[in-house]
Structure 1
Amino acid sequence: MPARHFDRTVVRAVRRAAEIPQAEVGAAVGAADSTVAGWELGSNVPDQEKLRGLAGVLRKPLDELFPREGSPDLTDLRCDAGLYRYEVARFIGTKSDGPVAAAENGVRRLKEKYVTKLAAAYGVSEKALEHAQERSFGNTVAETRDESAAAAETDESPRTLGEKISFLLKHSYPAGAAPGDEEIAEAVNRHAGSEVVTAEEVEALRAGADTNSPPPVVLEGLAEFFGVERMYFEPDEAVARQVYQGLRVLLASKNGGIRRVRARGLGPEGLSPEVLSLLTDLATEFEKQVGSEDPE
């Protein structure tokens, strides 16, 4: 079972930053103050069923505060709903949790009427619950196929500047450790050597509220801060044009126009034989598509 990851240091930092007493946390999840203290000290860890309540009292999304690698099975979905197994009998209208226990242990699949009721209780779709059930039985082929098809239909790659910044913040830092707008602004200003952006302007960029393209020095500072190429923050069409023009120049060098390549700022030595060798196949394919005339 891919249980959610509980990091006591993150939980403690989030609680202290929000100025929430341990007593308030314990009251929200039905635990003693000493138990909460033990979680933060590392002497014990909370039940997976407690994590939803913890995320709620700490005012953080469950996936952000307690990330999980992989997809959930039936037990995971139940825990994500904050329910212990003995509590689910009332949702499916049975005297015991036997049907759920059998399905979670990969012994007997849920009846269709139970699937509908449990999906509603867990706050997920029936398909998501059925996929989770297959994982409980050790079957993932059908689910992988369905998810691949869904991914093909939905392109979730970041396109706007705001989406690209948000993508880096979400995927480049541990949960709860992503830098804030003020920290980003300070880093960009250090790079520029003067104040070129404020925390409020970074927030506007991240939220997509500012549709104007920021000055190049801001993009350069963002690229340095996040450790990516400046081109990452350029609009897709601008990147495509740069790649296109680059291929035209490379094609010219391949066809003997090396002087023109030098004139475009590649230095007196032009392109090295190693680089030209690596790009031969790509340039050849490009030549087939657009012709071999030397660019003006």
Structure 2
Amino acid sequence: MSARHFDRHRARAVRRAAERSQSDVAAEVGVGNSAVANWESGHTSPDPEKLPAYAAALRSSLDDLFPREGLPDLADLRCDAGLYRYETAEVIGTKSAGPVTGAERGDRRLKDMYVPLLAKKYGVSEVELRRAQDRSMAAAETRKSNTAAEPGSQKPAVERRSGPPESLAEKITEILQRSYPGPDGPPSDAEMAAEVNARAGADLITAGDFEDLRTGATDTVLPAVLDALADIVGVSRMYFEADEAVAAQVYEGLRLLAAAKQGAVGRVRARGLGAQGLPPEAMALINELVAEMAEKQENVDG
């Protein structure tokens, strides 16, 4: 990947020359007021997807302010369009960004039907898009060849678990290694943090924070982070809940059904269970079952 070069000193100089404040730039880029200050101080770096808006906010050309050495691959074209990977699902009309993710990582090529859609959104020709795809594929083959040629460099196979994951760290690791990997293995902590923040629409987590969650250094996390993570990897939010919380919800559901079966319909219908209760979809299903049972009971009694 021929990523663009970010020079914080040049970015700060250009901003000052344009007589723009950090808060002005942050507003146009769509980040918090402290983000630009952190970029200019070197504490963090902007996501490559933010660079087009960043250059525009500084009234500069993307190529002039953030130059690139070499030719772009698929990921580069997407970033130059200011799109996060998950946003491409809407572009190609799929439920997830899996087709684009696979092509960017050199796992599989895009279907022909997706090429004109992405080319138009990226602002390039179909020929340019296909050439960028060729570079992504070639880079993946090079990485595989280099790995095979280096003694002892082969990544170990994922160890099979004897049972389901229990802790939050185990659940995150399990789904990244089994369900969300690319040809080079699971995405990095930085990649996942960026996708979570993009999906949530706010800077909620850093790469270090995500690493702490993945390794078990902490299990304290904002619900919004888990909501975004569940959306990204395509699982139910309940997957990340503690086993006892899930068990409590299942128990409540069974208890309500048992009450309905015993004729206690009046106490069950449309009843909410609070923060630890069933989700609305499950509650609606139970209420439908309760109503059906009530109707059957009325027919019997009548």
TM-score by length of 1: 0.46
User: TM (normalized to structure 2)?
Assistant: 0.46
Query: Which structure's CA Rg is the greater one?
Result: 1
